[in-house]
Amino acid sequence: MENSKVEDLLSKINTLLDEAGTKINAADNLQILEALRVEYLGRKSQLIDILKGIKDAEPSQKAKLGQRSNLAKSQIENKIQEKIKQIKEKELKAIELQEEIDISIPPSGIKKGHKHLITTTIEEVEDIFMRMGFEVHYPYAIDDDYHNFESLNIPPGHPARDSWDTFWTEQGKIAITHTSSMQNRILSQQKPPVRAIVIGRCFRNEATDARHEHTFTQVEGVYVDKGITLPDMLGTLKEFFSKYYKKDLAVKFTPDFFPFVEPGGMMSLSCILCNGEGCKVCKQTGWLELLGCGMIHPKVLEMAGIDPKTYSGFAWGFGLERLIMLKNNINDIRLFNSGDLDFIKQF
Ligand code: PHE
């Protein structure tokens, strides 16, 4: 075969390749691509015709043309595959767009929930104390021995530790037993006057019953300044409880022992149900014992870098659930964390 004819055939293959490429690019659906495959790669395609026409060529010419047309075939096939991929991706995108879910649209037919009674009460309590000039702190749920015990004048081995049995991590950390765990931090971080409350979850290794839970909320108070005395504490707490229960209440202090206060005691409130007359809830005494409190122990002040000769202060801690139970006539503390919707929905 003449070399010029071989050149002709080669350039024809190139032209076919270009032509196929343009058509494949322009194709916009899979049927057209299939038709193009038949046209350029099928048994009756021009490429096959070319190969049939070189039977009488020399082996080297045959090899050259054969290689070139094989290359052209695979290039066309690749182009078709590439285009099929593009078309399919485009189709998928269109479907995705159609089915796209807008998560910002509010659900219809689902009733909106509301804040839990504990949350709304925390907000209410914070509001009352903030108006009285207290700042609000939150405890670490997991803290160390120093903050939960030692800085509160409860050294290792102190028998008072038995009153605060709790859960320990393998690393020796503690699920806090009281919000007093923040006293040392608050007192060592600012100079008096200090007025702060701490609200947060506490944990105890309790046998649970209607009055005891392993997880509960405490409200701690710390007040330190020059010349602070026990009547200041009673006045502060009387003010708070009268605001929370929306009635004028009397308070009473009964001595009791906590290692971090001296004197320490329990504070009682005139019974909010019978106004001190005597009823079932206050066991006919007219008083409800509500919280532990006292004048901050000089050692606790010292450990926080405050000179007990210049400053004095008081601290208290009460359980938030108990307060709510009395206000709302709830008779089982376990209801708060029970997840019982009938209970939750009432408030
Ligand atoms: N932290 C004590 C408790 O949990 C309560 C308390 C706080 C008592 C502050 C006195 C002063 O029992």
Task: Tell me the CATH number at 166.
Answer: 3.30.930.10
C-beta of residue 295 within 8 angstroms of C-beta of residue 262 = yes
Ligand 1 contacts CB of residue 200 (under 6 A): no
Q: Please name the residue ranges forming H helices in 27-135.
A: 30-41, 46-52, 59-99, 117-131
d(Cα 119, Cα 273) in Å, to the nearest integer?
Answer: 24
Ligand 1 contacts CB of residue 202 (under 6 A): no
Active site residue 57: no
Q: Hey, what long-range contacts does 103-108 have (CB within 8 A, 24 or more apart)?
A: none
Ligand 1 contacts CB of residue 317 (under 6 A): yes
Specify whether 144 is located in the same domain as 277: yes
The answer, as to whether pTM is greater than 0.75, is no
Q: At what angle do helices 3-26 and 30-41 cross, to 10 degrees?
A: 170
d(Cα 28, Cα 94) in Å, to the nearest integer?
Answer: 14
112 assigned to some structural domain:
no
User: How far does the centroid of ligand 1 lie from the alpha carbon of residue 3, in Å?
Assistant: 106
43 assigned to some structural domain:
yes
Out of 99, 127, 156, pick the residue that ends a domain. Answer: 99
Ligand 1 contacts CB of residue 258 (under 6 A): yes
C-beta of residue 17 within 8 angstroms of C-beta of residue 72 = yes
Ligand 1 contacts CB of residue 261 (under 6 A): yes
Specify whether 140 is located in the same domain as 192: yes
CA 230 from chain center: how many Å?
40
Instruction: Give the tokens for residue 207.
Output: 């046998």
Q: What is the DSSP secondary structure assignment for residue 173, as one 8-state letter?
A: -
d(Cα 146, Cα 271) in Å, to the nearest integer?
Answer: 37
How many independent structural domains does the chain possess? Answer: 2
pLDDT, one tens digit per residue, over 165-199 is 888 899 999 999 999 999 999 999 999 999 999 99
d(Cα 249, Cα 239) in Å, to the nearest integer?
Answer: 8
152 burial via Cβ count (<10 Å: 0-12, 13-18, 19+) = buried
Specify whether 296 is located in the same domain as 168: yes
Specify whether 52 is located in the same domain as 144: no
* Active-site entry in 20, 27, 125, 218: 218
pLDDT for the residue 60? 87
- Tens digits of pLDDT across the chain (347 residues): 788 888 888 899 999 999 999 999 999 999 999 999 999 998 888 888 888 877 778 888 888 888 888 899 999 999 999 999 999 999 999 998 888 888 888 878 877 789 999 999 999 999 999 999 999 999 999 999 999 999 999 999 999 888 888 888 999 999 999 999 999 999 999 999 999 999 999 999 988 999 999 999 999 999 999 999 999 999 999 999 999 999 999 999 999 999 999 999 999 999 999 999 999 989 999 999 999 999 999 999 999 999 999 999 999 999 999 999 999 999 999 999 999 999 999 99
Other beta carbons within 10 Å of 153: 20
Specify whether 124 is located in the same domain as 72: no
Specify whether 31 is located in the same domain as 126: no
Out of 99, 131, 163, pick the residue that ends a domain. Answer: 99
CA 234 from chain center: how many Å?
37
Active site residue 204: yes
Specify whether 250 is located in the same domain as 128: yes
194 assigned to some structural domain:
yes
Specify whether 94 is located in the same domain as 129: no
Active site residue 261: yes
Q: Which atom of ligand 1 is nearest to the CA of 178?
A: 4
d(Cα 201, Cα 216) in Å, to the nearest integer?
Answer: 5
178 burial via Cβ count (<10 Å: 0-12, 13-18, 19+) = buried
Phi-psi region of 107 (alpha: psi -120 to 50; beta: other; left: phi over 0): beta
Rg of the chain in Å (alpha carbons)? 41
164 assigned to some structural domain:
yes
Beta strands in 43-164 (DSSP E): 135-137, 142-143
Specify whether 252 is located in the same domain as 334: yes
Specify whether 271 is located in the same domain as 171: yes
Domain that holds residue 54: 3-99
